[in-house]
Structure 1
Amino acid sequence: MNLTDPIFTCADKARDHLEQTRWPHGPVCPHCGVVNEATAIKGRSARAGLYQCNACRDQFTITVGTVFERSKVPLNKWLLATYLMASSKKGISAHQIGRTLGVTYKTAWFMCHRIREAMTETSPAPLGGPDKTVEADETFIGGREKNKHVNKRQFTRGAGAKQAVVTLVERDGRARSFHVANVNAKTLRPIIMTSVHRTSHLMTDGASFYVKPGQEFASHEAVDHKSGEYVRGKAHSNTAENFFSILKRGIIGTFHHVSEAHLKRYLAEFDFRYSNRSGLGINDAMRTDEALRMIAGKRLMYRRAGEAAYA
């Protein structure tokens, strides 16, 4: 798969590829869920790719019930935008997407957020497991550098405030990030308990809010950054730090500014690429197809600027 692939230049080829990716066993009715019991509707008056379910008699296309539904943007441009976002390690700006696809910035911005929503895990399995290690760490995104220490003591909102992000990284596995209001035991414990398998080995820095949650796992080891300790045998949080380096380079170098309202979707984008990285044997084409398989049930609409609603 490359930029000259027919699925990026022809809407019919794009539709065929999307159907093969999402419907490997035949058309799936989004209304009743019946598999391979639909008839393709042909004729001049029929829309391309239209099916009628033989069970519930409703009509549908491959985009019904997905983030692509009711979009006037050709399907080949949707697939190209998905490929560009899935293959860009540090992200790609909506301005660049707009120039590449030949659409307005407003359209490109909306497309990017829809694709980020598709990349969001809906029912994620816990990270880790028996004999597996999960690292937990926190960082601060955006705002003014002089406010970094203020935000660490007490999260503040308004101009210059940094946004707190907590990330859980499974060594040789997935990453999962959360935008939190405050970095303390009250906010972090529920996240760690619900996102990490209790049989895992937890690795953190020396922050006090990891002490009690760590007691509920197979083991918990912490390194003391304040004393200059960063690695002690298998104990370290360097994997999480590496994830943060990619995240921050993307936000600073590509997006420049990320609003608090949409930070969670940018985090989902970086989590998705990290969890489907080349180091796990996943190439750009495979990563793109995985994103296309996740587009269902996440239709995202904007009523007014900054106000999101789900259909």
Structure 2
Amino acid sequence: MSVLSKPYMHDEAAAFAHVESILWADGPVCPHCGVVDRAYRLEGVRTKPSKKNPDGKERFGLWKCRECRKQFTVRKGTIFEESHIEMHKWLQAIHLMVSSKKGISAHQLHRVLEITHKSAWFMAHRIREAMRSDGAVDFGSGGGAVEVDETFIGNDRTVKPHGSKKGRGYAHKHKLLTLVDRNTGRAKSMVVDDLKTATLLPILQENIAKEAVVYTDEAGQYKFLSRDFAGHDFVRHGQGEYGRGSVHTNTIEGYFSIFKRGMKGVYQHCAKKHLHRYAAEFEFRYNNRAAHEIDDMNRSVILLRSTSGKRLTYAGPDAAQPEAI
């Protein structure tokens, strides 16, 4: 049976029940007073009549707390809050995004889900926000190996070239620093403003255990890593060297290959202010891939558990405009 043919992908009541079973494993949680399993379901409640819906619309998944007497749904306090898109379409979008190795564009979501492009774009960014991992990691703990490298993507319009042309350097490009723990097979990416040692070293110290062995290329910003970690070695890409026993960055190069194919082939353009969420999308799929015995359905469940406590709004004079992707 196809995942997309499951009842919760098409039926709104089933969709709410599915999300509730994941986010409220111990019973409904009131987002207003925090009481657990002290609410009752409200059946048959409808919205006010309108021109579009003369009889109103049924309000699915509506609960009322016995303690504070306030109403709520499982949307409250999640990426779904204040969204007018049906819950079953959210579940379809989540499945499409977690199962597409190189991502799926907002245009494609707009066509598949039959919603506006603006809604699809905003929906995709809310899902990416749920994919984003918070806090530092501890890669290389126990003396493991960690690969570190950077890549460049897009065009940073905040950087002005010295001449009339940008040239072939990377100063005008977005910079993404990535770490990969060989033992766990997990990655972490961060958008950085520059590649100076003063910028990168604090990030590496925060996310890599002191007992780790770090592998990089010969770039100057990594020259003194042996002072902060148990070991550091590098490959000389400039001399055509790409591996010397365990000394290589091939794992991270494979990660960048998937990331760049997705960014260039699917998304095509990305503003710097959104890049951290696109990076989080690829990081999430990589860290929850089939090699870790996580299939598409489990990946969707993992994401749903991360939707709570994460909101993404665009309002005010700096409101973001949907990109044509």
| TM-score, scaled relative to structure 1 | 0.90
* Equivalent position SS for 1:261: helix
Shift of 1:28: 2.1
Deviation of the 1:7 alpha carbon? 1.3
Q: How far apart are 1:149 and its partner, in Å? A: 4.5
Partner amino acid, structure 1, of 2:32:
H
Residue in 2 aligned with 1:243?
255
Q: Report the equivalent of 1:255.
A: 267
- Written as runs of structure 1 = structure 2, the 5 A alignment for 1:85-96 is 85-96=97-108
The corresponding residue for 1:292 is: 304
Structure-2 residue corresponding to 1:14: 15
The 1:37–1:122 alpha-carbon spacing in structure 2 relative to 1, beyond 3 Å, is farther
Q: Secondary structure at the match of 2:152?
A: strand
Q: Tell me what 1:25 maps to.
A: 26
Deviation at residue 58 of structure 1 after TM alignment: 3.4
Q: CA deviation at 1:94?
A: 0.3
C-alpha displacement at 1:305, in angstroms? 7.9
SS of alignment partner, residue 135 of structure 1: strand
Mapped contact 1:261–1:306 kept (Cα < 8 A): no
Q: CA distance change for structure 1 residues 124 and 216 in 2, over 3 Å: closer, same or farther?
A: closer
Q: 1:139 aligns with which of 151, 169, 174?
A: 151
What residue in structure 1 maps to residue 64 of structure 2? 52
Residue 38 of structure 2 aligns with an amino acid whose one-letter code is E
Please tell me the residue identity of whatever aligns with 1:170: D
CA distance in 2, matches of 1:38, 1:174: 39
Moved more, 127-136 or 111-120: 127-136
- Please, which of 112, 125, 139 is the counterpart of residue 113 of structure 1? 125
Aligned partner of residue 234 in structure 2, secondary structure: strand
Identity %: 45
In structure 1, distance between residues paired with 2:289 and 2:94: 15
1:210 maps to which of 222, 236, 245: 222
Corresponding residue to 1:232 among 227, 244, 250: 244
Q: Considering only aligned residues, what root-mean-square deviation do their CA atoms show, in Å?
A: 2.0
> Is 1:150 the counterpart of 2:169 in the alignment?
yes
In the superposition, relative to structure 1, how do residues 185 and 302 fare at CA in structure 2: closer, same or farther (>3 Å)? same
Q: Which residue of 1 aligns with 2:87?
A: 75
Instruction: Give the CA deviation at 1:70.
Output: 1.0
Structure 1 pair 28/213, CA: closer, same or farther in 2 (3 Å)?
A: farther
CA-CA distance at 1:23 after TM superposition:
1.5
1:182-203 Cα offsets, whole Å, 9 max, x none, are 1110111121111222222211
Q: Distance in 1 between matches of 2:242 and 2:115?
A: 47
CA distance in 1, matches of 2:44, 2:108: 38
1:165 matches 2:176: yes
> How much has 1:55 moved relative to structure 2?
4.1
Q: TM-score, normalised by structure 2?
A: 0.86
User: For each residue in 1:133-178, what CA deviation from the matched residue of structure 2 results, as whole angstroms up to 9, or x when unmatched?
Assistant: 211100100249x957422xxx3xxxxx311111111114211111
**Partners of 1:200 and 1:140 in 2: CA distance:** 26
Counterpart of 2:315 in structure 1: which amino acid? R
Which is greater in Rg? 2
1:35 aligns with 2:36: yes
Structure 1 gap segments, 5+ residues each:
156-160
CA contact (8 A) 2:96 2:104 kept: yes
* Structure 1 runs, 4 residues or longer, greater than 6 Å off: none
2:12/2:60 contact within 8 Å kept: no
Q: Which moved more, 1:13-22 or 1:85-94?
A: 13-22
Q: Which runs of 5+ in 2 are unaligned?
A: 47-57, 157-164, 321-325
CA drift at 1:33: 3.2
Question: 2:210 is matched with which residue: 198, 213, 216?
Answer: 198
More deviation, 42-51/59-68? 42-51
Distance 2:151 2:12 in 1: 42
Query: Could you tell me how far 1:209 is from its partner in structure 2?
Result: 1.3
Question: Could you tell me how far apart the structure 2 residues matched to 1:71 and 1:290 are?
Answer: 21
Correspondence 1:3 to 2:4:
yes
Deviation at 1:61? 1.0
Alignment coverage as a number of residue pairs: 299
- Distance in 1, Cα, partners of 2:70 & 2:32: 7
| Distance across 1 between alignment mates of 2:263 and 2:90 | 23
Match of 1:267 in 2: 279
Q: 1:158 maps to which residue?
A: none
Deviates more, 1:72-81 or 1:203-212: 203-212
Q: CA deviation at 1:227?
A: 1.7
- Superimposed CA distance per residue, residues 263-297 of structure 1 (whole angstroms, 9 cap, x where no aligned partner): 11100101100010111110011111111111111
AA matched with 1:33: G
C-alpha change, 1:47 and 1:247, in structure 2 (3 Å) is same
